[in-house]
Amino acid sequence: MVDAGNGGSKAAGGFFLAGFVQVLLPKELIIKWVGAKSGMSGILIATSVGMITPGGPMLSFPLVAALFRLGAGYGPLIAYLTSWEILSFYRMLVYEIPFMGISFAVLRFSVSLVLPVLAGVSAQKIVKYFEKMPPEKKE
């Protein structure tokens, strides 16, 4: 049996949190720590936060949308989502270690650790490339 109300309540919770973030976090703080010009430190901060963020997409995507509206850069946002998807401590503790064992989990985590950083840096470089491109070539 499918619980139709569960998805709606998760979505509502995610949107509530995203609204909260927009009201409680000053735009200047977001721009300073994870803005487009925050560089590698912004990517590393976003990667770290992604690792410890619990919950599913109904929480993470509204949060990313709120941070984007507050001035977070593409690189940190891509790093956050990539980290949340592949380095989540919650998923590692609840699913991966019990099913695959600690050795496998540590190995997978170790080899995956660089991926959010690479994704964030790549996103920043791609955005810079398209910003410098003449308008007629952007299409």
Q: What Rg value do the Cα atoms of the chain yield, rounded? A: 17
What local confidence, expressed as pLDDT, does residue 1 receive?
Answer: 47
Tell me the torsion sign for CA atoms 7, 78, 22, 90.
positive
Taking 50 as the pLDDT cut, the residues of the chain under it are 1-2
- At 102-133, the pLDDT tens digits run 999 999 999 999 999 999 999 999 999 998 86
Q: How many domains does the chain have?
A: 1
What is the extent of the structural domain holding 91?
4-137
**What whole-number distance in Å separates Cα of residue 6 and Cα of residue 91?**
20
pLDDT at 119: 99
Rounded CA-CA distance 63/14 in Å is: 7
